[in-house]
């Protein structure tokens, strides 16, 4: 038997889907991401949402101020698409270096009240994006209460994504944090202008994790974890070597007391050990050789940005991340806190 790989050196990866919040929270979560990734696409679902180029620039400065000295980390900014985001904001966004707009169907997830109620209302803005080369990042779930929570992603493909793809054939679309076999199959068949991000937690866990020994709110996110066959389809897609699938943690910090709550917030915090978690998932699939493309190349290529030049090294080592972090005046509990990890980033 060949001896297992125990050191992995990769081109510095990027996180193509990240929530960092604002204010004091930045000083906890931004250093975690900056220690691992060269760049991260920053989600705009603040309260109120980031809807103008000027707001995105000011937010970028607040994030940059939380990067520890001596570390090169670039936040890539996005705007939050609403029913009435004017088409002429797209040129300002492009000039400001904004890379994408995020589509949240109204009511789909955390801070999505301002989201889109009907995609047709956004068509002039989407046309401007297609012309300017800005990407559309999609939270792909329908919100109708009569659709089962576990089916919302698959229904979204038929009801929204297929018509959208047809109407904007050259708009670059990222189907964010896909969770189902249907989504993986759709992306594979949708041509070169469509890609998807996959989180570490959807590669590592199925929906049993939410209920193991009692309700475990730190495993609750949206789109919710699905059954094992879907997890396996995501592992197959992520490790396939297809450039249409790349890394997006969807690390989404919430104060622990709002997750351990009668109506707990959706979102898993993984930024403290993101690459360790992905390495564990790829290792379990016998596909460590596919991690670099997924984590460091395909996202940059799809966004039309240069690949990073630096490197990181992960070592096989059993270690225990902290059970919690300070989060302003509250506490932040990471995913699977109290469980040992098998890989460790070398600093
Ligand atoms: C995200 C958040 O908390 O902002 N939550 C989540 O469960 N992923 C929002 C989102 O990406 O859906
Ligand atoms: Zn997200």
Instruction: Say yes or no: CB of residue 143 within 6 Å of ligand 1.
Output: no
pLDDT at residue 112 in the model? 83
Distance CA 289, CA 287 (A): 5
Nearest CA-CA partner of 10 in 322, 341, 293: 293
pLDDT at residue 108 in the model? 81
Peptide bond into 48 cis (omega under 30): yes
Q: What is the mean pLDDT of residues 63-84?
A: 97
Percent of the chain with pLDDT over 90: 95
Catalytic status, residue 301? no
Distance CA 232, CA 309 (A): 32
Q: 22, 250, 289, 301: which one is catalytic?
A: 250
pLDDT at residue 2 in the model? 64
Local structure of 103: helix, strand or coil: strand
Nearest CA-CA partner of 272 in 291, 245, 253, 258: 253
pLDDT at residue 23 in the model? 97
CA of 105 to the centre of ligand 1 (A): 12
Matching CATH number, 7-345, of 3.40.50.1370, 3.40.50.620, 2.40.30.10, 3.20.20.140? 3.20.20.140
| 171 within 8 A of 138, measured Cβ to Cβ | no
Q: What is the mean pLDDT of residues 197-224?
A: 98
pLDDT at residue 113 in the model? 81
Least confident of 66-80, 98-112, 149-163, 230-244: 98-112
pLDDT at residue 1 in the model? 58
So where are the chain's domains? 7-345
| 2 within 8 A of 312, measured Cβ to Cβ | no
Distance CA 249, CA 243 (A): 17
Distance CA 196, CA 285 (A): 19
φ, ψ (nearest 5 deg) of residue 129: -65, -45
pLDDT for 114 beyond 80: yes
pLDDT at residue 5 in the model? 87
Mean residue pLDDT across the chain: 97
Q: What is the pLDDT of residues 321-347, one digit of tens each?
A: 999 999 999 999 999 898 999 999 998
CA of 4 to the centre of ligand 2 (A): 34
107 — pLDDT class (breaks 50, 70, 90) = confident
CA of 77 to the centre of ligand 1 (A): 17
Choice between 18 and 114, residue whose per-residue pLDDT is larger: 18
Instruction: Say yes or no: CB of residue 308 within 6 Å of ligand 1.
Output: no
């Amino acid at each position: 038997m060949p001896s297992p790989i125990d050191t992995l050196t990769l081109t510095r990866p990027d996180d193509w889907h990240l929530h960092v919040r604002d204010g004091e929270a930045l000083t906890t979560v931004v250093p975690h991401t900056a220690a691992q990734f060269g760049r991260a696409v920053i989600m705009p679902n603040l309260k109120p949402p980031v809807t103008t180029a000027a707001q995105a620039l000011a937010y970028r400065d607040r994030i940059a101020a939380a990067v520890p000295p001596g570390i090169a980390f670039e936040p890539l900014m996005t705007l939050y698409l609403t029913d009435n985001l004017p088409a002429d904001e797209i040129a300002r966004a492009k000039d400001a270096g904004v890379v994408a707009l995020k589509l949240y169907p109204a009511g789909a997830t955390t801070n999505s009240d301002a989201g889109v109620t009907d995609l047709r209302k956004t068509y002039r803005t989407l046309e401007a994006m297609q012309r300017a080369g800005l990407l559309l990042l999609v939270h792909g779930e329908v919100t109708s209460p009569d659709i089962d929570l576990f089916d919302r992603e698959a229904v979204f493909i038929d009801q929204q994504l297929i018509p959208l793809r047809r109407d904007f054939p050259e708009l670059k679309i990222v189907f964010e944090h896909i969770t189902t076999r249907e989504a993986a199959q759709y992306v594979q068949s949708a041509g070169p202008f469509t890609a998807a991000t996959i989180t570490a937690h959807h590669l590592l866990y199925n929906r049993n994790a939410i209920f193991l020994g009692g309700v475990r709110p730190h495993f609750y996110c949206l789109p919710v974890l699905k059954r094992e066959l879907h997890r396996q389809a995501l592992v197959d897609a992520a490790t396939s070597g297809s450039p249409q699938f790349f890394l997006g943690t969807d690390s989404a910090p919430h104060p622990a007391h709002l997750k351990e709550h009668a109506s707990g917030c959706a979102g898993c915090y993984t930024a403290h050990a993101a690459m360790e978690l992905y390495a564990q998932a790829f290792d379990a699939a016998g596909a460590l050789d596919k991690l670099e493309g997924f984590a460091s190349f395909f996202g940059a290529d799809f966004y039309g940005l240069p690949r990073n030049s630096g490197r990181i090294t992960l070592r096989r080592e059993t270690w225990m991340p902290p059970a919690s972090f300070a989060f302003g005046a509250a506490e932040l509990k990471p995913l699977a806190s109290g469980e040992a990890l098998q890989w460790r980033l070398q600093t």
